[in-house]
Structure 1
Amino acid sequence: MTDSASGYTLQQASVAPAADTCDEPVRRTIAVVDGNSLMHRAFHAIPPSMNAPDGRPTNAVFGFLNMFLKMVDAFHPDGIAVAFDKGKPLVRMEMLPSYKAQRPPMDEDLHVQFPMIKQLLEHLSIPILEAAGWEGDDILGTLARLGEQEGLDMLLITGDRDMYQLTTEHVKIVGTKRGLSDVQLMTPQVVEDLYHGITPALVPDFYGLKGDSSDNIPGVPGIGPKKASALIMRYGSLDEVIAHAEEVPGKMGENLRAHIDDALLSRRVATIQTDAPVELDMRELSFPAFDAHAVHDALGELGIMAMQNRFLMLIGDDEGPSSPDGETLAVADALIARAETAEGIDEAVAELVRAIDAGEWIAAVIDDDKKDGALFGLTHTLWVATSERLIAFEEPEGTEAVSTEHAGGIDLTAGLVRGVISRLLADARLCAPDMKSLIRELVPADSSEPALTDALEIDVSRTFDTTLAAYLLDSARSHFDDGYIADTYLSVSLPPARGEAGAPTDAPVASARAAAVARAAREPLARALELRGAKNVFWDIETPLVPVLVAMERTGMLVDPGCLKDLSEGLESQIDELAVRIRALAGDSDFNISSPMQLSHILFDVMGLPTKGLKKTHRGYYSTNARVLDELAQDNELVRLILEYREKTKIKSTYLDTLGPLRRQDGRVHTTYNQTITATGRLSSSNPNLQNIPTRSELGHTVKTAFSAGEGALFLAVDYSQIELRLLAHLSGDEHLIRAFREGEDFHAETAARVFGVPVDEVTPRLRSRAKAVNFGIVYGQQAFGLSQTLDIPVSEAQEMIDRYFEAYPGVRAFLDRTVAEAAERGYAETMFGRRRPIPELRMKNATQRSFGERTAMNHPMQGSAADIIKIAMRRVAERLHGGDLHAKMILQVHDELDFECPIAEVADVSAMVREEMEGVVKLKVPLIADVSTGVTWADAK
């Protein structure tokens, strides 16, 4: 894969077996796959968040096929067969009744995938071999010896190390080491090196001594791999070790002499059988032997269309059903167009115009040479991938703008890169791994810099953000880089980019590779969105939001550096006073309060505070995290002061000392909104994080006094009232919840009345507060222990409150139970709008993880739907502001709240318009309510 003049092609990595050097005819290569081994490894390597359209889990099938294709790419076998276990391993159980007896039953989600993979293999015309009572290992062993006798080279694909005994000059083991990506080709010499001199023929002897706990093979107690290897190397074989057992000293010798029969039995059980009752004419075996329609039908049924093109390429058919436009994986010669070379620009522009006129999807990625943390680099390059060329539009930063207008309507007066992006956004079908970064080239974050377009006038129906698509398809992931997208949706292993380990000198730069990947992945990603029901969320919610976020980021928020400085200095004095008091109480004037290790020493070693139930860190001291200190603070003044010290130092360092330097030339701070971070679908904010300023703390409130709307304007905040509780009422259909919201009652007081059995007018503030905690706790799937911690009450009392809540609102209990059950069956929970959140924890054996999965399943329909609703509202409000005569600007989104800079004369009109749009996003069984508040500063408005 290169970006040189010789061409740029995205290719699969290929490692072919070494060819024979003798003059005998070329031997055919037959691969035999241990189906059970590969399915187990795939199941545990791929998160259980993949499902067929009918809800069946498919993670093991996907992983199996992924490994299968990598094996084909690497070794190009002439024929393939797959062996599976069938029934109990009776052949070995007759030798050793306890063989594998300790293994738990197969996970049901894995069990249901075996018929699926077998049906797929049948569609691919790959023979399946099974024999009742026999294991796949023995079938592989049988075929290995038969194939070798027939003059074939045999590849055995398995993760079982005891198979190494079969290795010969013409039988090699392809061992899966870690998950699905790391394989090792085992030859006799590699086996001997691995086991420190143990040859393949001696592997059963080796297992005879060391045993195998995973299969319940006993071996000799006290003899592990190193001792077993040493004994065999000294005496030559297990039989000779036994013959010289009297010479073996110490406890090892005693164990050996006492367990000779166990050693011999273990060797027998560990010996791969080569006489399994299976038949296969390997001379007639060929691969590939399937057709395009068989692949399309088989993969489509399971919703694994991302691999279709790889299978089609194996038969030389990239024009099969639903295949891309013929240029999925290849981008030809790299064309470098520089600002100072008119000929290069003309040629590059001509290719760009050709692709636009042809209606192709074109990919674009921005690259520059700036170092991490720097604002500017020396050069700016736009990599553009068409079906024919990979183009680098390159211009040095700071050079004079090109003053000509080139053919194709590309205006270069603002510079080469910006001119090309303008044309792409105006007329092309454009895909990118970061669409916002392309728009940002034309709409700088600093509003003191001129914008070359209006972000809100971009036609997003012609854009496709590949990272956004991949996120919607698996929001449980945290990263969606080129390697993941290529591997998952193109079944391609990316070679390293320039500067990465192992990359040749002519390797492409990462941005060039990213453009090629984006263009190739767009179609399979679009197909996957449709198959998994995420198409509407992508096109109706997330994609239209991109230009809205660009506009909000450009507007930014006014912040007063003088106010920040005064607040910081005032807080610094308080922090210094606290430090003096803390050190005095600790009795140590040199104590570093910010050091968890020193704090742990003071609290638990010096002061002797209780440590029952506390865990130590990996460095050996007791944790002093917030949860631990919160519990200790109830009875200890020093701990209360430390918590206060932590809060004030964090506010000072995170906000008061940081926000000022982050101001741009326009006097504003400009946060960045992230659409692909949270699994719930909520936006996150970074650099700076303006969503995370503490809302309930007096200190957090103080920070907000530094933000204002500017002269002649007010800070306007519009906040959804109890949106998740209202969504719970709607989704559960509980008549009592619905009535409470419809009648406009004090919902928390109504809950208190029903839970505690008192009239509404007798509900005290304390009872209302408890009911409020229960209401929100239920939404978040909180259990009795969590509620007891929140309210500082016994777990039994918390459980009684929850039980009463569900008695009062029976529809809620039924809804939550149904939601968890459906999520466990499907592998995901879903919002009202179809946003799916994978919840692999629901299928895990660990009770703590499963409990987390249940809480997540309960909460996602409400929290995720709330995220969808406010995103839709943001787009509608932005369109109303943009299309009317109003001058107010949307500047911030924090969870269920939208914030605006609003001229004083427009407050009434803007408030009414925003409430109308926010409350009208969706029609529920209960009213959506948006509350409005205003103030001179952000703090005043909230």
Structure 2
Amino acid sequence: MTDVSTDVSSSTASAPRRRVVAVIDGNSLMHRAFHAVPPTMNAPDGRPTNAVFGFLNMFLKMVDAFDPDGVICAFDKGRPAVRMEMLPQYKAQRPPMDNDLRQQFPMVKKLLEAIRVPIVEAEGWEGDDILGTLARRGEAAGCDMLLITGDRDMYQLVTDHINVVSTRKGLSDIAIMTPESVDDLYHGITPQLVPDFYGLKGDSSDNIPGVPGIGPKKASALIAQYGSLDEVIAHADEVKGKMGENLRAHIEDALLSREVARIRTDAPIEMDFDTLAFPAYDAQSVGEGLGELGIMAMQNRFLALLGEGAAAAADAAPAFEMPRVVAVAHAETGEGVSEALEEVARAIEAGEWLGVTLDDDKDEDALFGMTRALWVATASGMVCFEEPQTAGACAACVDAADKNGVDASRGLINGVLVHLFTRALVCSPDVKALIHQLSPIDSTEPELMDPLDVDSDRVFDTTVAAYLLDSIRSEFDAAYLADTYLSSGLPAARGEDGAAEDAPTAAARYAAVSVAVREALQAAMERDSDIDVFTQIEMPLVPVLAGMERAGMLVDPDRLKALSDQLGGQIDALAARIRELAGDETFNISSPMQLSHILFDVMGLPTKGLKKTQRGYYSTNAKVLDEFARDNEFVRLVLEYREKTKIKSTYLDALGPLRRLDGRVHTTYNQTITATGRLSSSSPNLQNIPTRSELGRTVKTAFSAGEGSVLLAVDYSQIELRLLAHLSGDEHLVAAFNEGEDFHAETAARVFGVPVDQVTPALRSRAKAVNFGIVYGQQAYGLSQTLDIPMGEAREMIDRYFDAYPGVRAYLDQTIADAKATGYAVTMFGRRRPIPELKMKNPVQRGFGERTAMNHPMQGSAADIIKIAMIRVAARLRDEGMASRMVLQVHDELDFECPLDEVEKLTALVRDEMENVVKLRVPLIAEASTGETWADAK
């Protein structure tokens, strides 16, 4: 293999430089790109683009490595008539091209035209023959030819001036094939002898027969011994054994296979190598071509090839243009306040959407920054409101604001924000963060505006919108929004590499981008039917979450410390016993590598069937240890040690420092993290406290409602199973819920064929596992692991389940079929989840995709239902003037801090809203319980 930096020309230093021309095998690279890049990329109009992206990535790497003077791309066109006339079964076994790949060939050809790369194809001719013809003609024209392909039969074309750049694994592993490297690879087979080599060994991928029983090693050995296929045939009688018999019986096959494998160099094509040049495109054409497919991330790489440098390339690109700053308001002096407010008033009067972000200059470790700035992007330009972090607005500022209807008595920025939320159309990448400027997280700080006063019809969160359009993506920053929805790059922000002296701040840039993409985001949501989820669920939920985050959960630090000290003693005792059982070996129990050494090297536990980690030791994850824990005290104690140290470090030791001045911890709810639509919780994560373990319950005893109040927990009962009954319409499943029977016992009776009154606890438990397993798309293997039963028994249980509820099987099959056809699963409210795994070749990934398709309609609909319930309950609490507060959401459960005299009313109110969110074929049931602590309430 030759290094990619090697000069592929063999000419001497004194000889004139030969021009380098790269010829790309378009079909080969597109197939490799399609299977190497996950099918998660789409053009703005929904067409898949993963193969195009991978192709361009390989293209750019090739250009970077070889700096060719010209580039040509060859494609197959029509059926390979020349070879099919010789061998009718040629490539007949190949499956039809994947439709998602087929769609991308016209797209990549259009892009190649945009970057002025000649496309060469001829009806009835394969790309291989186009490459062969171009290679020979280019060599004759005095060029060094590079053939970019993954096909090894192209090695026959290699000469001193024709090299094959052979793509191997993925898109980046390549080998440059010279006459010497071809000889080395095939042990004496020169390029000229490659067709002879294929004549003997054949090629199963192309259905070329060769000689049965002769593989690559035997073929190369025979040719090395006799010199050529013709000579091998001439001496066929000398070849002994079965190989000789096969050779003599298949001489015609060998000769035919050689001819089929021989690359033609006489294709009817034209190419003027003297005028060929690369790059020959302009900035506008490449920008338009990439923009149409939403692949703007590669734009600067293409523009940089024009020789203008990265900065010039960025200038040449159709980059996002920052609006000019039309007014800056200084709260300290009052300067510019009137002008800034007048521009905002003009925009509000005109009904414009305003891009709004807040910025400050706090250092990461500083308690206070010097100033903060509110950026407002209007149709006319940017407006900035600046004020000190620690001082109020001056009298002149307050007067100027008052004349424009803004109350700046508690700060200019606060006054402007109140004004915007009550009168304007506000577009922002984080609407909730803006609300918290007026309703601070710490409830000891004054609240200038109730979050529920924010009209959700007048706010637009661009991050939430982008998430709904691609819920499996993790980042939705300004660069992504501009690239995807504006087909443009972003100018560098202040402080970033390459930023100009007058570069905008990141916050200013984000405000401008947010309002610029709003219309495209809305159009995309309307096209994809996400708009109702956005306007009726996600945006109304933002103020509700802001209110819950401010309410927080009251936590007792003394209780946390006492529990931590108690658990610390238990952990020390466990550690001592673990080390004793290990023969007093000194090791870190929390280190997977050191624990693995103790388990498998010192103690000699069996390793059959276990996998090693990338670092070379046997895994000690929970699944592995659970298997050993049944019969091994040491392993049981290690698992107990892990659980207790995690509870202590994650909750008991961490929650206390997170308390604010109000004595509460205030979790942050995230709307754009989970692909299912469920909310997640962070800093701290209160949703992940273990619910079934005694240790988790112990942590919850530190949370309370305070004097004179209790915590009320209201939880949906079996909501996903009820949704399965509704969505599948299975008459037996629907009847079981409507008749109010013990659903799991009813399932056990139907699955195991016994009367309901004879269902034992063990049978009910098994039926319960099947019920919930079906919701999550669990297959026989998963159920066998859950119940610790043979896989055959688990498979039989699942089959009986579907016999008992045939409508469920039909529904799940249809759901998978629909997801495969559309590429996504959808909830009953229209929330989409893309499932690219359904298109993957790996059966494990594809199986995950099928389980996801089955589960999303239930889990996603449950997430939508509780969000709607939260919106309605919050409105009822406010409208009825109740003192009770919604303080927590944990999946299917809502928790409230409730004065004792409101318990009965609140319970009825919450159950009413939760149970009547939507009309199903079966009733929704919400179960309520109360307690002085969170542990008591649940």
User: When the two structures are superposed, what TM-score results if normalisation uses the length of structure 2?
Assistant: 0.77
Amino acid at match of 2:723: L
Q: 1:18-97 alignment to 2 at 5 Å? A: 36=27, 39-40=30-31, 43-44=34-35, 47-49=38-40, 60=51, 84-87=75-78
Give the structure, 1 or 2, with the largest relative contact order (CA under 8 Å, sep 6 or more). 1
C-alpha distance after superposition, 1:296-346 (max 9, x if no partner): xx98xxxx7999xx9xxx9xxxxxxxxxxxx99433323544333433333
Q: 1:361-372 alignment to 2 at 5 Å? A: 361-372=353-364
Matched, 1:395 2:387: yes
Q: Is the 8 A contact 1:561 1:660 kept in 2?
A: yes
Q: CA deviation at 1:270?
A: 12
Q: CA deviation at 1:409?
A: 2.6
Distance 2:933 2:342 in 1: 53
Q: CA deviation at 1:808?
A: 0.9
C-alpha distance after superposition, 1:674-733 (max 9, x if no partner): 011111110000000000000000010011111111111110011000000000001111
Secondary structure at 2:833 match in 1: strand
Residue 321 of structure 2, aligned match among 322, 327, 330? 330
Distance 2:333 2:193 in 1: 75
Unaligned 5+ runs, structure 1: 1-29, 72-78, 167-172, 183-193, 223-252, 315-326
Matched, 1:939 2:929: no
Amino acid at match of 2:675: A
Mean CA deviation greater in 343-352 or 850-859:
343-352
Residue 555 of structure 1, aligned match among 551, 557, 577? 551
Amino acid at match of 2:564: S
Distance 1:156 1:879 in 2: 69
CA 1:271/1:394 → structure 2, altered by over 3 Å: closer, same or farther? farther
Q: Name the Cα RMSD after superposition.
A: 5.0
Q: CA deviation at 1:811?
A: 0.9
Residue 342 of structure 2, aligned match among 315, 338, 350? 350
The corresponding residue for 2:567 is: 571
Q: CA deviation at 1:613?
A: 1.1
Q: 1:1-400 alignment to 2 at 5 Å? A: 36=27, 39-40=30-31, 43-44=34-35, 47-49=38-40, 60=51, 84-87=75-78, 105=95, 107-114=97-104, 117=107, 130-136=121-127, 276-278=267-269, 329-334=320-325, 336-372=328-364, 376-400=368-392
Secondary structure at 1:614 match in 2: coil
Residue 532 of structure 2, aligned match among 525, 528, 536? 536
Q: Is the 8 A contact 1:207 1:267 kept in 2?
A: no
Matched, 1:630 2:620: no
The corresponding residue for 1:803 is: 799
Matched, 1:720 2:716: yes
Distance 1:49 1:639 in 2: 41
CA 1:756/1:914 → structure 2, altered by over 3 Å: closer, same or farther? same
Q: Is the 8 A contact 2:387 2:393 kept in 1?
A: no
The corresponding residue for 1:422 is: 418
CA 1:606/1:866 → structure 2, altered by over 3 Å: closer, same or farther? same
Q: CA deviation at 1:506?
A: 4.5
Mean CA deviation greater in 394-403 or 274-283:
274-283
Secondary structure at 1:330 match in 2: coil
Secondary structure at 1:431 match in 2: strand
Q: CA deviation at 1:782?
A: 0.9
Q: Is the 8 A contact 1:165 1:204 kept in 2?
A: no
Mean CA deviation greater in 621-630 or 406-415:
406-415
Residue 737 of structure 1, aligned match among 727, 733, 737? 733
Residue 618 of structure 1, aligned match among 602, 614, 623? 614
Mean CA deviation greater in 396-405 or 85-94:
85-94
CA 1:621/1:32 → structure 2, altered by over 3 Å: closer, same or farther? closer
Amino acid at match of 1:110: D
Q: Is the 8 A contact 1:331 1:386 kept in 2?
A: no
Mean CA deviation greater in 921-930 or 530-539:
530-539
CA 1:136/1:660 → structure 2, altered by over 3 Å: closer, same or farther? same
The corresponding residue for 1:598 is: 594
Distance 1:337 1:67 in 2: 50
Distance 1:565 1:125 in 2: 66
Secondary structure at 1:758 match in 2: coil
Distance 1:491 1:260 in 2: 58
Q: CA deviation at 1:381?
A: 2.3
Q: CA deviation at 1:130?
A: 3.5
- How many residue pairs get matched? 827
Unaligned 5+ runs, structure 2: 1-20, 63-69, 158-163, 198-219, 230-254, 304-317
Distance 1:821 1:527 in 2: 27
Distance 2:140 2:405 in 1: 69
Matched, 1:519 2:515: yes
Q: CA deviation at 1:884?
A: 1.2
C-alpha distance after superposition, 1:105-128 (max 9, x if no partner): 565133441576499899999997
Amino acid at match of 1:85: D
Amino acid at match of 2:490: L
Q: Is the 8 A contact 1:331 1:385 kept in 2?
A: no
Q: 1:441-520 alignment to 2 at 5 Å? A: 441-520=437-516
CA 1:597/1:904 → structure 2, altered by over 3 Å: closer, same or farther? same
Matched, 1:412 2:408: yes
Residue 683 of structure 1, aligned match among 679, 682, 699? 679
CA 1:412/1:40 → structure 2, altered by over 3 Å: closer, same or farther? farther
Q: CA deviation at 1:761?
A: 0.8
The corresponding residue for 1:24 is: none
CA 1:179/1:533 → structure 2, altered by over 3 Å: closer, same or farther? farther
Distance 2:168 2:473 in 1: 23
Mean CA deviation greater in 435-444 or 331-340:
331-340
Amino acid at match of 1:384: V
CA 1:361/1:95 → structure 2, altered by over 3 Å: closer, same or farther? farther
The corresponding residue for 2:7 is: none
Residue 811 of structure 2, aligned match among 800, 815, 819? 815
Q: 1:757-776 alignment to 2 at 5 Å? A: 757-776=753-772
Mean CA deviation greater in 397-406 or 112-121:
112-121
Distance 2:418 2:149 in 1: 53
Secondary structure at 2:336 match in 1: helix
Identical-residue share of aligned pairs (%): 66
CA 1:773/1:373 → structure 2, altered by over 3 Å: closer, same or farther? farther
Amino acid at match of 2:666: H
Q: CA deviation at 1:418?
A: 2.2
Distance 1:417 1:156 in 2: 62
Amino acid at match of 2:728: S
Amino acid at match of 1:821: A
Matched, 1:832 2:824: no
CA 1:507/1:716 → structure 2, altered by over 3 Å: closer, same or farther? same
CA 1:375/1:132 → structure 2, altered by over 3 Å: closer, same or farther? farther
Q: CA deviation at 1:756?
A: 1.1
Distance 2:550 2:410 in 1: 19
Matched, 1:746 2:742: yes
Q: Is the 8 A contact 2:320 2:489 kept in 1?
A: no
C-alpha distance after superposition, 1:758-778 (max 9, x if no partner): 111111111111111111011
Secondary structure at 1:837 match in 2: strand
Distance 1:790 1:437 in 2: 42
Q: Is the 8 A contact 2:53 2:295 kept in 1?
A: no
Distance 2:895 2:688 in 1: 15
CA 1:619/1:306 → structure 2, altered by over 3 Å: closer, same or farther? closer
Secondary structure at 1:913 match in 2: helix
Q: Is the 8 A contact 2:28 2:151 kept in 1?
A: no
Distance 2:557 2:927 in 1: 30
Distance 2:886 2:538 in 1: 18
C-alpha distance after superposition, 1:431-459 (max 9, x if no partner): 11111111111111111111111111111
